[in-house]
Structure 1
């Protein structure tokens, strides 16, 4: 990577950090909560990734790693780094199956490696793979559309799901970035219908964009009741949450719930709707009555990674399947993701059953994850940069800013110096991300353990901190 390109990329990340800080300060000094800005409601109980993020405004170390010379410094001394990482990897909290790697982001050279090609249960670090495939296949500016089209008979309309799980229902608060809303769709649809002289319609909904089962192989029965994810359908509002402020309960039939809410919104706009709203199929080439679009894909990716959003990750995997000409199902989505990653040159140690990492059947090698993250920080892959900007900042944002991470005496000094995606399931802890060494070298890493006795999060934080101060 040329010095100028690295400077441009890292300066861009610095600007993103500043914006994050400004938003945090704004949220803490007004009555508009950070949750309202991100539309990430506080869960009713801890999820596999832990409680919701708490903003920690510590701008100094966050910006310190992103100086103009970041990435240009000398490589860390391998002998010292190897001794320190090897010692930390011997911690009993990690269990007896651990993989680790540190790569130079510029050259791809392995600075440290231990079981780096072993396929390990990745938990939510799976989202790095899913998001990279989505950005590569669809492009960062793609938007997901929810539409209403004319039915086959006069006086009929069909709500067509486009796979946008962040579609805001009538009870949702304002969000940042702004998402599509059912209320806006109802207003546009009502205006079109009235212009046609229609004030009464029969409404149905189309969920044919997706196929197959709505839950994945390897999902535990408690995932949906506990609010970690909803059944996956192409028509969903508020990620299937009964109340958008809380992660649970999830509704049993997300498409019907959204369609019924849309019917009520149309009624408020002066369009009478038939009492029964049922599934249907939109005619090919049907005239469009209304449409709303999601935020651009790069923003959806950042949201997915920062907040470890399981629902959105599953929809992104299906969007990759559609783009790749495969069935939009769990099987089609995961095969499409792996195929896109193979085209990118990441073709070893990846086997997926879902896009979010909730499945216990997923396997990814530390080398594959660290390589993807290095690509996301490279000027050669500008379309993947949302991976880098979306990863949580240690002790500051997302699943690394929840008050639990980077709080130990051996890691708190590196708050703000690490960006990484977390992964947490029963007996599984993973951390994959990037850091700038003390001499200004940009490196990527992946630390993964899937036979953890209790929890290994403090050890993973220590490993990442060792890299950051090397």
Structure 2
């Protein structure tokens, strides 16, 4: 036993000696090996003297070496802007009741106004008011859900006021991507099969909104001309139809074919067809119904965010989206989800946001000729949107002259802004048969950011609408192209 212990100690001592010798050898090898790797090290003194990168800006004599004042671009004057208006907006083109306001975006100071406090028919510039209100009340991340609820012996498709709901997925290039009935039907079928159901009764619920489905001043001519549908809380593809009479299944803002007069019924029928494709037979219906409070949820799909929907609405001047957003504003304020309740919600919220200038609405899209907004009110709305982070999608959603939306060629009568103003003017368009209006932002040639509204509510005749729009385009381009002093 003692001999074994001595042997173990001797072996351990030898291993220690070998380890020590190996360590010494490695230590001697490290400096040349590390040098070969060229590891960077800090120099003990500067190796290169830096030269001048930017030439110093001379400081005016007497201003003090610490002065950092920067000359701001000179703002347009009232007389300069008046000359632009006189040169570009003749009464022969725009009619007798032209209203104009131009303000400095940085300060809100009014630089020029001409009848800017007088109510005028705003047409689709009304959508600026609706967009600001919806974003302020609901927040930019809000979404709208379309659901399927289970009831005794069947299911109910419940409209949640999603104005972008589609039947099938849109092309990958489209933006934003809407929720689809196809996805909702697939999820519903899975849930029903999991419970052992292969056949159901189908109802559809539009009770989220109430009151008339057409606003004061609207006619069914607006539906037949492809501008809008009756407003209900359950609608796919905004009621746009193919020549065969089926839902169009794409976002085509320049499809002016007649739309459906029964958007909810057509949407429910499309949902029934999709259920059949997933092995669920609809034994009766679809028929109007109301899902009881607390009915179990089977499936749900949600819209894009409100900020994305607002941008789409403003780019396309989409009436169906605008009316749905106005209804959601009414619901958020505890008002009736009617046209009257929606209009009251928009005007009430604008007052809360500090917009106290003249406005009188009967709808949320501006399709009604009974709406009234003063040019100064549109300017105030844009100022609020520009100054409030949660409202910024109103600004980012404005069409860009010569490039996007209703300011691009072929998308509206306002597609003619060119030259140096292309890409510089961002504005919301508005037009009815004898109304032309434009409200937005523009940088002038000095770099000043201006907010403007130009409203021609009495164009001399429907045949002159294009001439009026071209005159307004010319005025916006002139704001961009001059210092107006």
Structure 2 length as normaliser, TM-score? 0.78
Give the whole-Å Cα distance in 1 for the aligned partners of 2:404 and 2:372.
26
Q: How does 1:312-461 map to 2 (within 5 A)?
A: 312-378=321-387, 381-403=388-410, 405=414, 407=416, 412-453=419-460, 454-455=464-465, 456-461=468-473
Q: Quickly say closer, same or farther: Cα 1:72–1:156, change in 2 above 3 A.
A: farther
Larger radius of gyration: 2
- Bigger drift between 169-178 and 357-366 goes to 169-178
- 1:248 paired with 2:246, answer no
Secondary structure in 2 aligned to 1:433?
A: strand
Whole-Å separation in 2 of the counterparts to 1:247 and 1:190: 35
Residue 207 of structure 2 corresponds to residue 195 of structure 1: no
Aligned-residue offset at 1:102? 0.4
TM-score normalised over the length of structure 1: 0.81
Where does 1:273-284 land on structure 2 (aligned, <5 Å)? 273-284=282-293
Counterpart in the other structure of 2:478: 466
C-alpha displacement of 1:231: 0.6
1:330-375 CA-partner distances (Å, limit 9, x unpaired): 1111011111111111122111111111100000000010111122
Post-superposition shift, 1:98?
0.8
Matches within 5 A, 1:77-88: 77-88=77-88
Task: Tell me which residue corresponds to 1:301.
Answer: 310
Q: Deviations over 1:129-148 (max 9, x none)?
A: 11111111111110111000
Taking a change above 3 Å as real, the CA distance of residues 171 and 256 of structure 1, as seen in their structure-2 partners, is farther
8 A Cα contact 1:406 1:414, kept in partner: no
Contact residue 156 and residue 201 of structure 1 kept, 8 A: yes
Structure-2 residue corresponding to 1:142: 142
Cα drift, residue 406 of structure 1: 5.7
Q: Secondary structure at the match of 1:431?
A: strand
Identify unmatched segments of 5+ residues in structure 1: 1-70
Question: Cα 1:253–1:173, aligned 2, differ >3 Å: closer, same or farther?
Answer: farther
Greater relative contact order (Cα 8 A, min sep 6): structure 1 or 2? 1
Look up the match of 1:42: none
Q: Figure out how many residues of one structure are paired with residues of the other and give that number.
A: 394
Q: What does 1:68-79 align with in structure 2 at a 5 Å threshold?
A: 73-79=73-79
Contact 1:338 1:350 in 2 (8 A): yes
| Structure 2, unpaired ranges of 5+ | 1-70, 243-247
Residue 439 of structure 1: how far off its partner (Å): 1.8
Structure 2 counterpart of 1:311, from 308, 320, 331: 320
2:183 alignment counterpart? 184
Offset of 1:172 from its aligned partner? 5.4
- Displacement of 1:171: 8.2
SS in 1 for 2:352: helix
